[in-house]
Amino acid sequence: MGMPAMSAEELDEKYKELEESMSMLDYFLKDGNKFLAGNEVSVADIFIANEVNTVNHIYMIVHHVMLGIVIYTHMIFSFLAAEWL
């Protein structure tokens, strides 16, 4: 289910792509523009807002899954420790 796990090299490449994308955003916003194409909202701003929200949503899902794993593991070890003592 889902995508296969990425290798460390693939993950590094994706991180570099993200850094390049963020640099591009900085470039377009460097002149004091409020939005990507100037001081008026454009379709480009709506698209980039959606992309940023998607990345943030994925981060939150991963964070919650990892937190759930930590809590579940703690519960298992607590149960086992109580059984063994």
| Inside any domain, residue 76 | yes
| Inside any domain, residue 2 | no
| Inside any domain, residue 37 | yes
Contact predicate 45/35, CB 8 Å: yes
Give per-residue pLDDT as tens, 5-57. Answer: 778 888 788 888 878 877 887 887 778 888 888 888 888 888 888 877 777 77
| Inside any domain, residue 64 | yes
Task: Give 79's contacts (C-beta < 8 A, 6+ positions apart).
Answer: none
Number of domains present in the structure of the chain: 1
Q: What is the mean pLDDT of residues 44-73?
A: 79
Q: Which domain holds residue 68?
A: 8-84
Give the tokens for residue 65. 């899954």
| Inside any domain, residue 61 | yes
Q: What is the mean pLDDT of residues 59-64?
A: 77
pLDDT over 60 (residue 1): no
- Per-residue pLDDT band at 85 (split at 50, 70, 90): low
| Inside any domain, residue 1 | no
| Inside any domain, residue 65 | yes
> What are the backbone dihedrals phi and psi of residue 35, each rounded to the nearest 5 degrees, phi first?
-130, 170
| Inside any domain, residue 43 | yes
Note the pTM of the prediction, 2 decimals.
0.48
